Structure 1
Amino acid sequence: MKRKPSGWAGRTCLAVSLALSPLLLSSVTTLAAPAGGEPPVSAIDSYLVQAMDSTALPGMSVVVTHQGEVVYAGGYGHDSAGEPVTAHTPMRVASVSKSFTAMAVMTLVDDGRISLDEPVARQLPGFRMADSRSGRITVRQLLNQTSGLSDATIDIREAESASSLAGYVASLDTGTLAAEPGTRWAYCNANYEVAARLVEVASGARFGDYLRQRVFGPLGMSDSTVGDRVVRPARGFNSLFGVWVARPELRDVPYGSGAGGVVTTATDVGKWLISQTGNGPQLVTPRSLNTMHASSQVRDYGMGWGRETMDGTSLLVHSGNLFTYTAVEAIVPGTGYGFAVMTNSASLYDDAYEILAGLVAISQGRTPTVPGGWRQRIELTLGLVAFVAAMLGGLGVVRSRRWANRRTGSPAWRIGLRLAPGLLPLPLFAGCPTLISFLMNGRTVTWEQLTYFAAPLTFAVAVAAAAGTVTTVLRLLGLRSIASTR
């Protein structure tokens, strides 16, 4: 499944937008927080109402848990059918799915049917690559994202066109590794697709069925599934210069994706967060739960959870970004709090993470910062870039003949220097997928994907490239016309 990177890599996608946005200035408002203890529902609701207003998201569902209780679960806004979003609205949670996949693997580890530190190749028939080092990849390294698998060294497009997890794994046979297993961290969805296939082989059940039997079912997550066949969310939204456009997700995955296929609700995620803090029904032993949450020796990333520090508080966090949905989950091991924010939209800026940060602040009796509309500012800046480029392009077209007259007789090298600035946006536009892939730490990005979450950026660069190219061509034609008449 082609999807935006999540977590740290996902937020890197802002870099190119911010580079074009010198007008971006932070603007926030604050909300008084409760003075200790569990935050009242009214404080959370008031904050979320303000957050919805400041971010202008189309829809959002949220859950907050504390130890063994759900403190708050609710929804805001609407879906693409105009229905109100509630705590029971199905949401795609993208790469947040990885924590569920890791849990499925750990249940089989506890059952003795998977070994964390044995090579995957010994436990998963059909897993082979054109790199002898792949035979040393362990299950632990898959879940820690330290296997050496990378979008840059495997044919991710072919893999994600597979009709089954078995086909996905088979497609990796021509790939190589970017590093020796266990030596480098690289976020790659293939790690969790291989892990999901391992679950199928070790359990004898389809991945989605196993999750329902051993993860969703025991926790009472009755509205959760893998893929869209059982529970189909409404279309999500993309933001195009401040207008939310309802669009189908880029591609429905025919196989039960372990990297990003979970569809769930705020109510169900609340049960999951309670279990992840060691309360309520437990799916694995305490030792296995700690193993999932522990960072590897290479990076502060465990198994479907990353460790971050937010205002001095250590959290376990994982974000998820598809092309029309965004999600983030977090737990605070020190206090037993859990949080999840899910939105039915995707854009150049991830508001869900900032909203979650405000919920963490409220839980600690601090004053939360209400998100200040960075998405709107980014898109306004890109809109201005497109407008100015179009105006300059129009002016260049009108004056192209005059420009040619003034340069007639000039040396070719000087004319070339004069024309070069107008052509600069063209290679930038042509190289957009490569540039964005680089900024996203090597994640594969396609043109089709750039018409979704990055539509305002793609449009702005396209307008600049078109304006510069048309102006340059007309100037050259003017020079040629003048030369031919002499």
Structure 2
Amino acid sequence: MRRIMVLMSIGAALLVAQPAAAAPSAEPLPAAIDAYAAAALKSTGLPGMSLVVTHGGRVVHAAGYGHGSDGQPITAGTPMRVASVSKSFTAMAVMTLVDAGKVALDEPVAAQLPEFRLDDPRAARVTVRQLLNQTSGLADGGVDLGRAEAATDLAGYLAALRSGRLAAEPGTRWAYCNVNYEVAARLVEVASGLGFGDYLARHVFGPLGMTGSAVGDGVVRPARGYNSLFGVWVARPELDRFSARGGAGGVVTTAADMGAWLISQSGAGTQVVRPESLAAMHTPTRIAEYGMGWGPVTADGTTLLVHSGNLFTYNAVEAIDPATGYGYAVMTNSASLYDDTYDVMTGLVALSQGRSPAAPGGTRQLTELVLGLIGFGAIALTVLAVVRSRRWARRRSGRAAWRTGLRLVPLLLPVCGLVLYPRIISFLTNGRTVTWAQLMFFAAPLTATLVTAALAGLVTAAVRLVRLRWVASER
């Protein structure tokens, strides 16, 4: 869900809708949505974006704006990676098998998927429902994620989990963990006899008419996405091992296809599961406000069911309003320190309620400006310290070594921060595993600033020590 990007932003996410109240009105016109989207694209500075608004059993508007890294315009049919939005699709796949009597929702996973084994006897009690509710006890810190994510298929992924342990008793604690949904995807494969992508194609995408959707890049290939580096959008490919993953974040889809998906999730149009199964997907647990790939979020007084997704160069968010039957999805071919898709989505909510949303944006630009100034400031101070290093050394020559050492300690603090960087971000995101690879993508400006500050501190300390030695030798 948006944790990493929100925590690394300087300010909290602000809802873009104007607070002025208005009675529910007719559906927003496509022209009004286009005008808002164009303003949002300009104010956020995003290279490209696609979106869809649905109401009841129809698509109000689906469109694309801006361009991809290949220079082609973004349209409603442009394939986009939707990252963790994929979890709602995985939950749907599981629920179709529950309805078919091939998966038991409240029975242990291990009884239905014998290859699910951990070095923890409690794992034998984890149920399928707990996987989908993220209350299984699985957490990033309890398993070897690096080994699992290096696997070439879901069977290999599960094999890599066998040395892991649960972080809590099953059903007692909520923890957002991709492992839950990779295990669920493998359960789909074993219960159905089909590959996960094939099963989704036949039993979810196909029935809903989502002809531009697939799992991974084998059938539908999106263009390269972008990362923002101090305001410059740089086209970069996803890392293969992440873009090919199945149940937790592997879906590639389009705004047009998401229209069919949102209509179905709102209880209209074609249904692939029973009404009670759809309701179960949308119902939070007693432990946390998270159902099965959906969670309730209150935005400007409106309670929505939402799930977002962040990959290295893509962001997405989906939402449905159970009270009105509206559905919304926003997808971008870019990722940065701040995810604007949620703010754009809340603006669409405002439009559907007859209100005038303000164009979102500015948080990313301000964050990157501040980080850039910090980096330039570190460089300037280093140059000044080098120029004045002889004077500094003369003032401290002959003093106790420990006193001089204390003066140098602050210079090395950025180095310590850089060494602990992934662990600090992991702590701030409630124990999620954060890799250097991730921090070199959407967090590139923050990473570059930390590297600059660390190098500045090292250079300053080294030059001062060398000068101190020269001054001492002159005496």
**TM-score tier (shorter):** over 0.9
Of residues 362, 365, 379 in structure 1, which corresponds to 2:354?
Answer: 365
Count of aligned pairs between the two proteins = 474
Are the aligned partners of 1:207 and 1:256 in contact in 2 as well (CA < 8 Å)?
no
Matched, 1:217 2:206: yes
State the partner residue of 1:73: 62
Letter in 2 for 1:46: A
Q: CA deviation at 1:484?
A: 2.9
- Residue matched to 1:11: 3
1:56 to 25, 45, 48: 45
- CA separation of 1:338 and 1:447: change in aligned 2, threshold 3 A: same
- 1:15 deviates by 2.8
- Residue 455 (str. 1) matches residue 444 (str. 2): yes
CA distance in 2, matches of 1:253, 1:368: 35
Question: Deviations 1:237-261 (Å, cap 9, x if unpaired)?
Answer: 0000101000001224586510000
Measured against aligned partners, the alpha-carbon deviations of 1:81-126 in whole angstroms (never above 9, x if no partner) come to 1000000000000000000000000000001110111010000021
Deviation at 1:367, TM superposition (A): 2.3
Structure 1 residue 25 displacement after superposition = 12
Secondary structure in 2 aligned to 1:318? strand
Q: Which letter maps to 1:127?
A: F
Distance (Å, rounded) in 1 between the aligned partners of 2:205 and 2:4: 32
Q: What does residue 80 of structure 2 align with?
A: 91
CA 1:16–1:93 in structure 2 vs 1: closer, same or farther (change >3 Å)? closer
Matched, 1:474 2:463: yes
State whether structure 2 residue 196 is matched by structure 1 residue 204. no
Q: Within 5 Å, which residues of 2 pair with 1:19-34?
A: none
Tell whether the 8 Å contact from 2:53 to 2:328 is kept in structure 1 after alignment: yes
User: CA-atom RMSD, angstroms?
Assistant: 1.9
What residue is the counterpart of 1:228 in the other structure?
Answer: 217
**Cα separation, 2, equivalents of 1:132 and 1:423:** 45
**Aligned equivalents of 1:151 and 1:342: distance in 2?**
26
Distance 1:35 1:191 in 2: 39
Residues 345 and 49 (structure 1 numbering): CA distance in 2 closer, same or farther, change over 3 Å? same
Instruction: Tell me the CA shift for residue 429 of structure 1.
Output: 1.1
Q: Which residue of structure 2 aligns with residue 310 of structure 1?
A: 299
- 2:434 is matched with which residue: 422, 445, 460? 445
The amino acid that maps onto 1:191 is N
Partner of 1:418: 407
Q: Paired residue for 2:176, among 187, 190, 209? A: 187
- CA shift for structure 1 position 481: 2.2
Q: Which shows bigger deviation, 163-172 or 442-451?
A: 442-451
Query: What is the DSSP-based 3-state SS (H/G/I as helix, E as strand, rest coil) of the residue aligned with 1:173?
Result: coil
Q: Which runs of 5+ in 1 are unaligned?
A: 1-6
Which residue of the partner structure matches residue 122 of structure 1?
111
SS at match of 1:427: helix
C-alpha distance in 2 between matches for 1:269 and 1:13: 24
The alpha carbon displacement at 1:483 in A equals 2.2
Q: SS at 1:309's partner residue?
A: strand
Q: Which residue of 1 aligns with 2:28?
A: 39
Distance 2:285 2:34 in 1: 37
- The answer to whether the 8 Å contact 1:309/1:315 transfers is yes
Deviation of 1:37 after TM superposition, in Å, equals 1.5
Structure 1 152/470 Cα, relative in aligned 2: closer, same or farther at 3 Å?
A: same
Which of the residues 125, 135, 139 maps onto 2:128?
139
CA distance, structure 1, for counterparts of residue 243 and residue 366 of structure 2: 37
Whole-Å separation in 2 of the counterparts to 1:315 and 1:167: 36
Larger mean Cα displacement after TM superposition, 425-434 or 267-276: 425-434
Query: CA distance change for structure 1 residues 16 and 328 in 2, over 3 Å: closer, same or farther?
Result: closer
Provide the rounded CA distance (Å) in 2 between the counterparts of 1:115 and 1:38: 41
The residue type paired with residue 438 of structure 2 is Q
Q: How far did 1:41 drift?
A: 1.3
Query: 1:317 Cα deviation (Å)?
Result: 0.2
Alignment-derived partner of residue 234 in structure 2:
245
Contact 1:27 1:373 in 2 (8 A): no
Gaps spanning 5+ residues in structure 2: where?
none
Return the match for 1:292 from 272, 281, 290: 281
C-alpha change, 1:31 and 1:246, in structure 2 (3 Å) is: farther
Checking the alignment, whether the CA contact within 8 Å between 2:6 and 2:13 is kept in structure 1 is: no
8 Å contact 1:145–1:186 — kept in the other structure? yes
Percent identity of the aligned residues? 65
The answer as to whether partners of 1:34 and 1:43 remain within 8 angstroms in 2 is no
SS at match of 1:127: coil
With 437-446 and 286-295 compared, the bigger mean Cα shift is at 437-446
CA distance in 2, matches of 1:105, 1:61: 28
User: Structure 1 residues 414-423 or 317-326, which shifts more?
Assistant: 414-423
- Find the partner of 1:376 among 344, 356, 365: 365
Aligned counterpart for 2:158 among listed residues 166, 169, 181: 169
1:158 corresponds, among 140, 147, 159, to 147
- CA shift in 2, pair 1:371/1:68, >3 Å: same
Residues 401 and 29 of structure 1: CA distance in aligned 2, closer, same or farther (over 3 Å): farther
The equivalent residue for 1:3 is none
CA distance in 2, matches of 1:26, 1:112: 44
Q: Counterpart of 1:174 in 2: which secondary structure?
A: coil
Q: How far 1:444 sits from its partner (Å)?
A: 1.3
Amino acid at match of 1:197: R
Contact (CA 8 Å) 2:17, 2:355: kept in 1 or not? no
Amino acid paired to 1:184:
R
Q: Secondary structure at the match of 2:161?
A: helix
Q: Secondary structure at the match of 2:248?
A: coil
1:335-377 Cα shifts (integer Å, max 9, x gaps): 0000000000000000001000100111111221311311111
> Secondary structure of the equivalent of 2:140?
coil
Give 1:433 shift.
0.9
Residue 393 (structure 1) aligned with residue 382 (structure 2): yes
Alignment of 1:259-270 (within 5 A): 259-270=248-259
SS in 2 for 1:57: coil
- Structure 2 counterpart of 1:355, from 331, 344, 355: 344
TM-score normalised over the length of structure 1? 0.94
Q: TM-score, normalised by structure 2?
A: 0.96
Matching residue within 277, 284, 287 for 2:266 = 277
Question: Does 1:431 pair with 2:431?
Answer: no
The secondary structure found in structure 1 opposite 2:160 is: helix
Question: Which deviates more from structure 2 when the two are superposed, residues 60-69 or residues 433-442?
Answer: 433-442
Post-superposition offset of 1:39: 1.2
SS of aligned partner of 1:466: helix
Change (3 A) 1:256 1:405: closer
2:205–2:213 Cα contact (<8 Å) kept: yes
Cα deviation, residue 307, structure 1: 0.9
The superposition leaves residues 195-227 of structure 1 with CA deviations (integer Å, 9 ceiling, x where unpaired) of 000000000100000000000000000111000
CA distance in 2, matches of 1:288, 1:485: 83
